A and B are shown apart, each in its own frame.
Chain A
Amino acid sequence: MLVKVASALNLGLHTVAMEVEVNVAQRGLPAFEIVGLPTKAVAESKERVRTAIINSDIKFPERRIVVNLAPADVPKQGSFYDLPIAVGILATVIGCKLPERSLFFGELSLDGTLRHTKGALLLALFAKERGVNNIFVPHSSANEASIIKGVNVYPVESLTQLVLFFCKQIDFKPVTHKENDSKEEVSEAEFDMSDVLGQEQTKRTMEIAAGGGHNLFMIGSPGSGKTMLARAFPGILPSLSEKESLEVTKIYSASGRIPPQGSVIKTRPFCTPHHTTSNAGLIGGGSRLKPGEISLAHRGVLFLDEFNEFSRLALESLRQPLEDGCITLCRSRDKATFPSRFTLIASANPCPCGYLLHPKKTCICTQREIERYRKKISGPILDRIDLCVEVPVVDIKELSCDDKAPDFLESSKVIRERIIMARKIQQKRFSSETIYTNAEMGNKQIKKYCYLSREVSQILIKAGANFNLSARSYYKMIRVARTISDLEGVKEISASHMAEALQYRSCEKNENVHF
């Protein structure tokens, strides 16, 4: 007897339909075979299915069972075939009819219950697209799948429950989506901005970076507080919009990072890969294409500490994702596109020994060493970083004695409010465009949305001559000035906005090192 069970297969963020054909033959020696290019995890599925069925007190048919995973030419990975295979066998054992237009998806435990399985959200999206009414997913993944409205999501706890439902012995209701506690909406940062003493300029640069989604490069000696500042950064980020949060949740679902009973992700991701991270780990890849850190940081922040220590290959592969906001990975068998619209925060020492800018310690690097160190970050990468700031070493004694200091310490909450306002202005500005933030503006959009008065362009021209600005950095300055004016809530870019933007140009040319 042949039973066909519908399921689906996630390839990257893309889902394709799949059919599990289960044939329990009347003749032949008892056997259990899975065909259709199963990988190890899938092939082992037969032991899980057999044991789970037996442990659910259901008789396992002692016949020749052949399972075909169609289409047969796509390699099958993952453990979510357990449920469709088991359902197919159960259907022949019990002889009941399966509900129509349904997808089955999930991993079995040996006791017959179902385990949390990754990619449930993608399955629900696929079901909605294809007009499939019902999906059966593990209980703990059901909340994640039910984010998508218009699909009945059945939270399956065990095989027994499912059999009883097929035989119409029990009532089984689809789950309704339950939001997680909403206090998570504000990103929980390790530090508050007011915890950081001094560093006014760096904090201001971070505010601009968050305000307009600009990439930021911090240069400073060890101990100047770069890492602490970066860790305070999530606290000033606005929460994700509904559209953005679905984009992020999809990626997290595909890579199995949504916890059991998890719901949609509302806080902006903050990823901090170590500098020894492999290229595939950073940009995504592997033999089964997986999203890398840049995609996990989508709509959030990718913090690369010790930027110069990353491998040259890893740094250079950031170019295209930084420019396009997505990455397309191709292998001989697979191809996947992952979104990667993140804000890059990079930090580095000014020289190999680290003490070039230090007020007390002496730098022992030669000019050549410093140049070699800085050359590791190529022009094209620097071109894509709008803001650059030098983080000085702060004398704590001096700061804590200063009575005036507390006046300067704004909390993350206050800064965040200004950023939310600036982002709202940008949302309105770009409502007819495909971009969200000032940092994404191309030359065309700059011309359209950034009117420069005579006075302002005079400053820019003069700066171009005095500071050796390249044509590309002209546009950087304008983008940054646009964000500064948005933070102030002013429509037009004023001279002081442009003048302030010039402060953050220093990675342009290493003015410190050359003449």
Chain B
Amino acid sequence: MKTVKISSSRYPSLLKQISDPPQQLYYKGKWDSKLFKNCLAVVGARQMTGYGRRATNELVAKIASMGVTIVSGFMYGVDAQAHRAALSVGGKTIAVMPCGIDVIHPSHQKKLYEEIIAANGLIISELETNHPPALWIFPKRNRIVAGLSKAVLVVEAGFDSGSLITADLAKKFNRKLLAVPGPITSSLSQGTLQLIKNGADLASDANDILVNYGLNYQEYSMNRFSAAGLNKLERGIIDKLTQEPKDIDTLSRLVNISISDLGATLSLMQLRGIVTKEKDKYHFIQEKVC
């Protein structure tokens, strides 16, 4: 059983500063103190929307590729997406479990659990190795997520979301708090918008976050789409999709083309990575992430 005690020199110094740091951390994977140097906590809703997914991908992939460790809570939704986005660019990530480190919760994310360890990330918890998950643990777990990190990024959160607990803790621990703005009509943006109103930094770009680590993301500026040689129909489709994601039936009415031809064109655009389908709607991919 691998543990790091609070008295150990390997114990993350940032975490030591909070009011009630865990006495010991159980962990899985290879403990490397460098992992804890630059940590960003990414938290958000479980019922993530397509927007939340893309926002997480967009921001986290860039930040993780700059060497910042992504810390999150391993829950499905934004948490898992943040872990995945970090892994997809070969970045480092730490999952703080709401249970013992040998218990995989939620169990359907077993693959992700293994991938994190395989990619030299860490699975940590203050609880004994086979402790089952419980509701009272989640807020306690959140204090570790916030405590490890220099900054906390909230991607999507409802009005009474658990992510707001992490946000409160971040303020209490004197961490930088950032929130991704969302559509005012979405119930999953109410929490994040409230955070921004109350003084959290607005994060609309990777550099908004990276500036807190003294880093700057260099945009590789090549417009893939002018080079991709799009025909008139494809340009027309992208034109409609940039306004708002649309389902294929609506799109067919807007560009005035038969559903069979449109279907064929969209399949090919999907294969080229220009558009993606989420739920029943097509989205235009600004920046291909994975």
Contact = CB atoms under 8 A, between A and B. Distances in A.
Interface in B92-107: 106
Contacts of A495: 264, 268
Contact of A356 (B248, B253, B279): B279
Interface in B49-108: 76-77, 84, 106, 108
A404 interface: yes
A330 interface: no
B76 A367 contact: yes
B134 interface: no
A283 B279 CA distance: 34
A199 B261 contact: no
Contact of A496 (B76, B248, B264, B280): B264
A367 B261 contact: no
A478 to B, nearest CB: 14
Contacts of A405: 253
A203 B187 CA distance: 33
B277 to A, nearest CB: 7
B256 A500 contact: no
Q: How many interface residues does chain A have, given as a range?
A: 35 or more
A319 B280 CA distance: 28
Interface string A344-358: 000000000000110
A405 B252 CA distance: 11
Contacts of B77: 367
B271 A204 contact: no
Contacts of B259: 200-201, 203-204
B236 interface: no
A496 B261 contact: yes
Q: Is chain A's interface secondary structure helix, strand, loop, or mixed overall? A: helix
B47 interface: yes
A463 interface: yes
B270 interface: yes
Contacts of A466: 270-271, 273
A484 B253 contact: no
Contacts of A203: 259
Nearest to A462: B271
Closest 10 CB pairs of A and B: A499-B264, A499-B267, A496-B264, A503-B263, A502-B267, A500-B264, A200-B259, A390-B280, A500-B263, A204-B259
Interface of A: 198-201, 203-204, 356-357, 362-363, 366-368, 371, 390, 392, 394, 402, 404-405, 408, 459, 462-463, 466, 484, 495-497, 499-500, 502-503, 511-512, 515
Interface of B: 46-47, 76-77, 84, 106, 108, 187, 247-249, 252-253, 256, 259-261, 263-268, 270-271, 273, 277-280
